[in-house]
Every structure is written in C-alpha cells, then in structure tokens.
C-alpha cells in the first residue's frame, strides 16, 4: 500500500508539470508570485549595429582621400597637357631666363646698402618672419571660416593648404635637383649643381600658392581687392627673400610660377568635381569606415 501511495503522488506530480501554465492552479500561483508592473525592471536596449562618428571626423577622412587623389592627378597632369598648358610652361621658362640675366644686378642692389659684408648670411630670424605674410593669410581665412561656419571659407582655406603643400613638395625636390648656391654663398649666379638649395624659393612658392587662392576665390565683386592682397603677399615675400640675401631674382620668379600654377590646378580640379554628378563619401560602419562612390546617370 505504501508503494502504491508513492506511485500515485508521483503520477500526480508528473501530470502537474506536464500541464504547466495550462493548469488553473499553477496559473493562479504564477500570477500571485509575479511582482507588480511598477516595480518591474525595463529590458535592456539592443546594441546599435552602426557606430555614428562625429561629422568632423568623417569630413577629415574625406579630405584625406580627396587629397590623395589630387596628389596623383597633380604629378601626372603633365602627361595630359595640351598646347595651351605647354605655352604657359614655355612662358614661365622664358620669364625665369630673363630674370636670371639680372640676378647679379638685383643682388648687388639689395646687398650694397646692407651693414653685412658682401655675401653675408641673412639672420636666422628672417626664415620665420619672411613666411609670416602667407601664414597670416591662411590663418585669417581659416579663422574667419570657423567663426562664421562658412563652408566656402573652409573650402578656400583647404585649397590654400593643399596648394601650398603640393607646390612646396615640388619645390623641395627641385632644390636638390638643381643644387644652386644662394647669394650669400657665392657671387656667381651660375653656381648650379653645387650642393646648394637656392632654386626655387620655398617661401615664395607657398606665398604665391596661398595668395593665388585668396585672389581668385570668394565674392567676385571684390575681386580687385582680393587680387591686390593675394598677389601682394607673394610679391612682398619675394622682396623680403631678396632683401635678406637668401635668394636670387630668378629663384623667386620660378617660385611664383610654381605656386600660381599649383593653385590654379587645385581650384580648377575642385570646380570640376563640384560640377560633376559624382560623389565620394565616407560611411562610418562598425570598426572603421567605408569609402563609397555614387554617380547620377540622369
């Protein structure tokens, strides 16, 4: 009898577990054990599948990839030059040749009234002070764009920076290719391939690159004022470099041509990209970013 009693209770327990929540008694017991809705903890939100980076970070990535494309196009551009481009290049070479003819006379003019001995090295502070006009133009443009949240101003300041960077990199390479000695090193303006670093002037190259972007951008109603300031920055920098006996006249003429040509390349390329129906964007995704390209065929 004791065994049958235990089997009967086990059978009833199994039926109860099988029915589970279907049993009215079990359902009532569960409701009684459930805490009030007010005290229930909310379920945690699912983790987002996309990480949203700040806008500025995405813009910097876009500028980085865009600059890489501009650099490639810049150094391969001579392969696609047309007749007009070669005419400009020939004119620049002619201007440098004419300036070279007057190198010694201009050097003597600036050095004759100086307190330094003939051929003396310029003061070390001149390297910094001669770069201030171009740097001030870039800093003021960038600062004004940041304060007014002007997209045109930000684009203009970036064009200044990119033009100065590309032109200076080219000028730096040319310096050690030609190896021309500076005016304070020799009285002979034909000292080429002699281990110098005079041709062309990097100060003037960057100044004309920045100044040309300033002169040819912005509101066309004040174009004359922008050109006076922009090209005045380049000419003023060239004057200071010759006055400080750091460069020959032809060094500054070649630098001016290089800076202006680079600035026009950057601005023209940017204008072509803005007019096209193609768009390159950086899409932030989990763990990094994805470069996307879109084109409108309409």
Give the C-alpha separation, 150 to 144, whole Å. Answer: 8
pLDDT tens digits for 26-68? 455 455 555 554 455 555 544 444 434 345 556 666 666 677 7
Whether 19 is in a domain gets the answer: no
Task: Identify the three-state secondary structure at position 203.
Answer: helix
Provide the 8-state DSSP code for 194.
S
Per-residue confidence (pLDDT) for residue 69, from 0 to 100:
79
| Beta-sheet pairing, 288-295 with 278-285 | antiparallel
Is the whole model's pTM more than 0.95, yes or no?
A: no
Per-residue confidence (pLDDT) for residue 123, from 0 to 100:
75
Whether 117 is in a domain gets the answer: yes
Whether 198 is in a domain gets the answer: yes
Whether 32 is in a domain gets the answer: no
Per-residue confidence (pLDDT) for residue 11, from 0 to 100:
45
Q: How many CA atoms lie within 13 A of 130 on its CB side?
A: 26
Q: Which residues of the chain have pLDDT under 50?
A: 1-3, 5, 7, 9-23, 25-26, 29, 37-38, 45-54, 275-277, 297-298
pLDDT tens digits for 134-152? 999 999 999 999 999 888 8
Whether 83 is in a domain gets the answer: yes
Q: Kindly report the backbone phi and psi dihedral angles of residue 279, in degrees, each rounded to the nearest multiple of 5, phi listed first.
A: -150, 135
Per-residue confidence (pLDDT) for residue 236, from 0 to 100:
96
Whether 15 is in a domain gets the answer: no
Is 117 within 8 Å of 227 (Cβ atoms)?
no
Q: Kindly report the backbone phi and psi dihedral angles of residue 155, in degrees, each rounded to the nearest multiple of 5, phi listed first.
A: -65, -40
Whether 38 is in a domain gets the answer: no
Supply the range of the domain harboring residue 126: 74-284
Whether 175 is in a domain gets the answer: yes
Per-residue confidence (pLDDT) for residue 170, from 0 to 100:
96
Per-residue confidence (pLDDT) for residue 63, from 0 to 100:
66
Q: How many domains does the chain have?
A: 1
Closest CA to 96 of 174, 186, 159, 209: 174
């Amino acid at each position: 009898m004791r065994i049958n009693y235990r089997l009967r209770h086990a059978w009833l327990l199994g039926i109860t577990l099988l029915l589970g929540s279907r049993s009215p008694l079990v359902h009532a017991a569960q409701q009684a054990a459930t805490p009030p809705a007010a005290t229930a903890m909310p379920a945690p939100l699912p983790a987002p599948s996309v990480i949203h980076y700040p806008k500025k970070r995405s813009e910097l990535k876009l500028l980085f990839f865009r600059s890489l494309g501009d650099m490639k196009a810049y150094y391969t551009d001579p392969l696609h030059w047309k007749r007009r481009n070669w005419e400009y290049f020939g004119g620049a070479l002619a201007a440098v040749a004419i300036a070279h003819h007057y190198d010694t006379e201009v050097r003597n003019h600036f050095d004759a009234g100086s307190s330094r001995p003939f051929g003396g090295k310029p003061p070390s502070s001149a390297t910094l002070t001669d770069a201030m006009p171009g740097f001030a133009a870039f800093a003021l443009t960038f600062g004004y764009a940041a304060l007014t949240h002007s997209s045109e101003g930000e684009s203009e300041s970036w064009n200044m920076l990119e033009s100065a960077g590309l032109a200076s990199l080219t000028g730096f390479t040319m310096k050690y290719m030609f190896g021309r000695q500076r005016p304070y090193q020799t009285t002979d303006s034909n000292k080429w391939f002699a281990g110098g670093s005079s041709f062309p002037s990097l100060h003037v190259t960057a100044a004309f690159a920045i100044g040309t972007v300033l002169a040819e951008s912005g509101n066309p109603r004040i174009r004359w004022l922008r050109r006076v300031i922009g090209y005045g920055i380049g000419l003023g920098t060239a004057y200071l470099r010759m006055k400080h006996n750091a460069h020959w006249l032809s060094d500054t003429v070649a630098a001016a041509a290089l800076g202006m040509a680079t600035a026009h390349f950057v601005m023209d390329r940017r204008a072509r990209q803005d007019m096209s129906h193609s768009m390159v964007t950086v899409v932030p995704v989990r763990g990094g970013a994805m470069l996307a390209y879109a084109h409108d065929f309409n």
